Amino acid sequence: MELTIQQIYKSFGEKEVLKNINFSAQSGSAHGLLGRNGAGKTTAIRIVMGVFYPDKGSVLVDGRQIDRRKIRIGYMPEERGLYPKKKISEQLIYLTMLRGMSGADARKACDKWLERMGMTEYKNKKLETLSKGNQQKIQLAATLMCEPEIVILDEPFSGLDPVNAMLLKDVIKEMIGSGSVVLFSSHQMNYVEEFCDSISILNGGSIALEGRISDIKRSYPRDRISVSSSEYDKIAPFVIQKMSGDILSADNDKENERTLIIRLKDPAFKGRLMKELSENNFDIDEFRVIEPSLNDIFVQYTEAGI
């Protein structure tokens, strides 16, 4: 399945919130929908769900206009939306039946997902009696009980402890592996990098950057080399002397004293640098090109315009 957002425009009154938004997400992968607060992410998500309709443009599944009566969508909002004073099992079953599942199937799905989340013992408890992290697990169960083909996760890791975060990671990976289309919105770039193959960064209602994360990173100059070695104190003067015409600097990494950051005049010189270090028998633990972090890229494309 391919979900395509095509030439979407949306205004509220005189304020244009989305301007010619285009991106696509494939089944069996996760697409990161990123941006600062107010960039238009939530509006785009609500258009996918059919809560809002675009002024112009289309939401397509496999090239055809989406039919939300046939496509199951699971949405986990940033602001959790369950009922605190209702029993957990009652509201999970009710919400799943609203999505078209029979009562018997909804009860089976409820038992399955409460067990998967390690929450079976709370089945007949009121939601308000649970910790914030456990409430979040119930919200995720509510999102997935209808066996959605499109899963939308908005800040799913907010407030989770490490153990619950690990459980959520496993569940998300299962959803991706099962062939669901996953839209993942978060400000926690480490999670985006872990799950997403591709991203769209919104800034001021427009797509500022879109594509595969690996391709985006490789598009940056590859002229900074990290060299880790127990002989770091010998390597710096060696490369400065041996390759004086090819390097701009060779300095210790501020975060790791056993690592050098070598800046080349041209990325093409990294082969020669590797050869010189190898031929002179330096004990190299790691030699790698330094790519920008997704956090660096996010800041670059969102620091202006909002």
Instruction: Say whether both 206 and 235 belong to one domain.
Output: no
Name the token pair of 169. 């990671």
Instruction: Say whether both 87 and 43 belong to one domain.
Output: yes
Q: What confidence tens digit (pLDDT) does each residue in 91-129 have?
A: 999 999 988 889 999 999 999 999 999 999 999 999 999
CATH of the domain at 146: 3.40.50.300
Q: Are 192 and 186 in contact (CB under 8 A)?
A: yes
Please tell me the distance from the alpha carbon of residue 61 to that of residue 2, in angstroms, as a whole number.
Answer: 6
| Residue 303 within any structural domain of the chain | no
Instruction: Say whether both 12 and 116 belong to one domain.
Output: yes
Q: What confidence tens digit (pLDDT) does each residue in 289-306 have?
A: 988 899 999 999 988 644
The yes-or-no verdict on residue 138 having pLDDT over 80 is: yes
| Residue 304 within any structural domain of the chain | no
The yes-or-no verdict on residue 256 having pLDDT over 90 is: no
What is the tally of structural domains in the chain? 2
Host domain of residue 53: 2-217
CATH of the domain at 261: 3.30.70.100
Instruction: Say whether both 212 and 130 belong to one domain.
Output: yes
Instruction: Say whether both 256 and 149 belong to one domain.
Output: no
The last residue of a domain, from among 217, 232, 253: 217
Query: 250: pLDDT confidence band, cut at 50, 70 and 90?
Result: confident
Among the ranges given (28-32, 227-231, 252-256, 277-281), the one the predictor scored with the smallest mean pLDDT: 252-256
Instruction: Say whether both 36 and 55 belong to one domain.
Output: yes
| Residue 275 within any structural domain of the chain | yes
Mean pLDDT in the chain?
A: 90
Give the Å distances, CA to CA, from 265 to 45, 223, 259.
Answer: 44, 7, 19
The last residue of a domain, from among 193, 217, 241: 217
| Residue 297 within any structural domain of the chain | no
The last residue of a domain, from among 172, 194, 217: 217
- C-beta pairs of 88-92 under 8 Å, 24+ apart in sequence: 88/114, 88/119, 88/122, 88/123, 88/124, 88/125, 88/126, 88/127, 88/130, 88/138, 89/114, 89/123, 89/124, 91/127, 91/142, 92/138, 92/141, 92/142, 92/145
Q: What is the pLDDT of residue 202?
A: 95
Instruction: Say whether both 54 and 161 belong to one domain.
Output: yes
| Residue 295 within any structural domain of the chain | no
Instruction: Say whether both 192 and 286 belong to one domain.
Output: no
Instruction: Say whether both 69 and 118 belong to one domain.
Output: yes
| Residue 240 within any structural domain of the chain | yes
Instruction: Say whether both 243 and 212 belong to one domain.
Output: no
Instruction: Say whether both 63 and 190 belong to one domain.
Output: yes
Q: What is the mean pLDDT of residues 135-141?
A: 90
Instruction: Say whether both 43 and 31 belong to one domain.
Output: yes
The yes-or-no verdict on residue 255 having pLDDT over 90 is: no
